[in-house]
Amino acid sequence: MDITYIHSLFLKCQSVSIDTRKIEADSLFVAIKGENFDANTFAKEALEKGAAYVIIDNNDYYIDQRTILVDDSLIALQQLAKFHREYLKLPIIALTGSNGKTTTKELIHVVLSKKYKTKATVGNLNNHIGVPLTLLSFNSETEIGIVEMGANHKKEIEFLCELAKPDYGYITNFGKAHLEGFGGVEGVIEGKSEMYLYLSQNNKQAFINLEDPIQVEKSKTLQSYSFGVNKAEANVNISAVSANPFVVITYSDMTISTHLIGLYNANNINAALTIGKYFDVADTAIKQALESYIPENNRSQLLTKGTNQIILDAYNANPSSMAVAIENFVQLENPNKIMILGDMFELGQESAVEHKSIVSSLLNQEKVVCHFVGAAFFANKISKDNFSFYENFESFSAYLKETKIDNSTILIKGSRGMALERTLDFLS
Helices (H), 120-209: 130-137, 156-164, 179-182, 185-192, 194-201
Distance of CA 182 to the CA centre of its chain: 18
273-282 pLDDT tens trace: 999 999 999 9
* Cβ atoms < 10 Å from Cβ of 125: 16
Q: What's the pLDDT score for residue 156?
A: 93
Q: What's the pLDDT score for residue 301?
A: 86
Helices (H), 11-61: 43-48
Q: What's the pLDDT score for residue 223?
A: 94
Q: What is the Cα–Cα distance from 128 to 130, expressed in whole angstroms?
A: 6
Q: What's the pLDDT score for residue 257?
A: 96
Q: What's the pLDDT score for residue 99?
A: 85
| Preceding amide of 245 cis, omega within 30 | yes
> What stretches in the chain show pLDDT beneath 70?
1, 176-181, 428
Q: What's the pLDDT score for residue 375?
A: 97
Residue 203's SS3 state is: coil
Domains defined along the chain, listed by start: 3-77 (3.40.1390.10), 90-292 (3.40.1190.10), 301-426 (3.90.190.20)
Nearest to 416 by CA among 326, 321, 335: 321
Nearest to 145 by CA among 74, 193, 95: 95
Q: What's the pLDDT score for residue 191?
A: 86
Q: What's the pLDDT score for residue 177?
A: 64
Contact between residue 413 and residue 325 where contact means Cβ atoms under 8 Å apart: yes
